[in-house]
Chains A and B, each alone.
Chain A
Amino acid sequence: MDFSFDVIAHNLPYLLAAARWTLLISVAGMAISIVLGVLLCAARLSSNLALASFARFYISFFRGVPLLVQLLMFFYMLPYVGLDLPAIAAAILATGMCSAAYTAEILRGALQAIPKGQAEAAEALGIPSLALWRRILVPQAIRLGLPSLVNELILLVKVSSLASVVGIAELTRVSQNITGETYRPLEIYVAAAGIYFVINFVLSRFGRMAEKRLQIG
């Protein structure tokens, strides 16, 4: 069987349409991941014992259970507690909440990598703690954590393919469907791989640009 570009050309519109769901899950997931990740990191570092242990529990749970299992739990178990989420919401929540655990740890690592003396210098000058965080700690944590954060976001795009198990017509699911109809797995999966790659390539370029802008010296 020869590789046929016609098959790709013919099916590309369907694949691209499906890629929109992939993008939706990824972008919404990233938003949840970053906002929740920041909150979790703050909770994890907080001197409030209850907050810190909650964050610790959250992180170890979402890091310790396969995302596929989390997704199925969100989809099948939440209705039992009266939360009947549409499949797409379950998928976005599961990927975002799982990724937030990693984001929180990335941020924590970055914050703890900043030498203690920098906060001390600010204290000795009488700089208020809000300004210390806003002007000195957070900008550096972002700079230090950015490569790992971009990594995490790229990972998030890729794991959005798991949403296929709850019936969402995202890129991987649609590729499977088309393959079932056309019996051309090679062409279809090559095309799907290409689309994933392009999305992540753009994302990593954005990451590189941000790193350059934040770079010093």
Chain B
Amino acid sequence: MNTKTPSAATEALISVRNMSKSFKDFEALRDITLDVNRSEVVCLIGPSGSGKSTLLRCLNFLEAYDTGEVRLEGELIGWQEGTAQPRRRVAAGTLRRQRQHIGMVFQQFNLWPHLTALENVAEALIQVKGLGKKAAQDAAMAALTKVHLSDKAQNHPANLSGGQQQRVAIARAIAMEPRVMLFDEPTSALDPELVGEVLTVMKEMAAEGMTMVVVTHEMGFAAHVADRVAFLDKGRLVTLAPPADIFGREPDDPRVRSFLQTYRERNVV
């Protein structure tokens, strides 16, 4: 866990205000308000279908939220500022610039199979940051070294284990030097013995002060690495508290209690 010195002058890095999102008739998120501070690790937990992934995907506008606000360092993400209704999306170029600062790691890795590990990491450095090929490869190599995969740089994803693929995906995101990293169930598609290596890399990132929002079913990670844990149920943010308040004692909210019970039965926490 990292220590923070919250200074009065610094606003939250990400601030979500009264955000709601529906898919047709299904209300996926309702009135979510949440701040993520610099260097903070926030884990989103909850039953499947509770809206954790949707919330995460609204943060970088992969899903367009309907109402409310998502701000990164004060800048509204995805929608144009102002009170005009209906709101209009920002220009494609603006959204690309906003997304550059928000790294994302997916459950299914989503590496590009025709490119090597190094090329996967270098691609956005060339296409988005405009680096030359050599500079991009050097930066990509540095990112791969951070996830302990410099020796696999020339491998294609098909020749990497799931854990290695996910670490390449993490390197691809951190190479862009984002202000915040979003993780969407980063270990859910992995064989149990490969989960550890990915979590280790994530812990190292947290220790270095990376701001992270992590959707996870790894309660151990949430308990030991998160600064705060958000529990979602049926699209609502039920609890937002330090992990000790959620895992350390019997939670007040019956929904949190019954959710954690399923883990306790398996001796996970």
Which A residues are closer than 8 A to B by beta carbons? Answer: 115, 117-118, 120-129, 131, 135-136, 139-140, 143, 214, 216-217
CA distance A126 to B98 in the complex (A): 8
Binding site for A on B (CB under 8 A): 60, 62, 92, 95-100, 102-104, 106, 108, 110-114, 123-124, 127-128, 156-159, 169, 172-173, 176
A216 to B119, CA, bound (A): 13
Chain A residues within an 8 Å CB radius of B111: 121
Q: In the complex where A123-B62, A125-B100 touch, is A118 in contact with B124 (Cβ < 8 A)?
A: no
Consensus secondary structure, chain A interface: helix
- The answer to whether B96 touches A124 (Cβ under 8 A) is no
Closest CB pairs A-B (n = 5): A217-B158, A117-B110, A121-B110, A126-B96, A125-B124
> What's the minimum C-beta distance from A118 to chain B, rounded to whole angstroms?
6
Assess whether A120 is in contact with B127, with CB atoms less than 8 Å apart. no
A to B CB contacts below 8 Å, 6 in the list: A120-B62, A120-B110, A125-B99, A126-B100, A140-B114, A217-B157
- Collect the chain B residues with CB atoms within 8 Å of residue A120's CB: 62, 106, 110
Closest-CB distance, A199 to chain B (whole angstroms): 30
Whether the pair A124, B102 counts as a contact (CB closer than 8 A) is: yes
Do the beta carbons of A115 and B108 come within 8 Å of each other? yes
Inside 8 A of A129's CB, which chain B residues have their CB?
92
Closest to B175 in A: A125
With A120-B62, A136-B112, A216-B158 in contact, do A126 and B106 touch (Cβ < 8 Å)? no
Decide if B114 touches A125 in the complex (CB within 8 Å). Answer: no
Q: Is the CB of B114 within 8 A of A139?
A: yes
Q: Which of B96, B110, B176 interacts with A115 by CB under 8 Å?
A: B110
Give the chain B neighbours of A143 by CB distance below 8 A.
Answer: 114
Having A126-B97, A216-B114, one finds 12 other A-B pairs with CB under 8 Å, namely: A117-B108, A118-B112, A120-B62, A121-B169, A122-B124, A125-B124, A125-B128, A126-B95, A136-B114, A143-B114, A217-B156, A217-B157
- Which of B98, B127, B176 interacts with A128 by CB under 8 Å? B127
Contact (A125, B113) CB under 8 Å given A117-B106, A120-B106:
no
Chain A contacts of B112 at CB under 8 A? Answer: 118, 121, 136, 140
Point out which of B62, B95, B114, B172 has the most chain A C-beta atoms below 10 A from its C-beta: B114
Q: Is the CB of B108 within 8 A of A125?
A: no
User: Which residues of chain B are within 8 angstroms of A117 by Cβ–Cβ distance?
Assistant: 106, 108, 110
Chain A's nearest CB lies how many Å from the CB of B117? 12
- Max chain B CB contacts within 10 Å: which of A118, A121, A124, A136? A124
Separation of A118 and B106 alpha carbons in the complex (Å): 10
Q: Which B residues are CB-close (under 8 A) to A140?
A: 112-114
Interface contact B114-A126, CB-CB below 8 Å: no
Beta-carbon nearest neighbor of A214 in chain B:
B114
A120→B107 CA distance, assembly (Å): 12
What residues of chain A lie closer than 8 Å to B103, measured between beta carbons?
Answer: 124
Contact A124 B114 (CB under 8 A): no
**How many Å from the CB of A52 to the closest CB on chain B?**
21
- Residues of B near A139 (CB, < 8 A) are 114
B202 to chain A, nearest CB (A): 17
Give bound CA distance, A131 to B173, whole Å. Answer: 17
Closest residue on chain B to residue A121 by CB atoms: B110
Question: What's the minimum C-beta distance from A167 to chain B, rounded to whole angstroms?
Answer: 46
**CB-defined contacts of B159 to chain A, threshold 8 Å:** 217
Among candidates A118, A126, A136, residue contacting B99 with C-beta atoms closer than 8 Å: A126
A123, B113: Cβ atoms closer than 8 Å: no
Q: Which of B60, B123, B173 contacts A127 (CB 8 A)?
A: B123
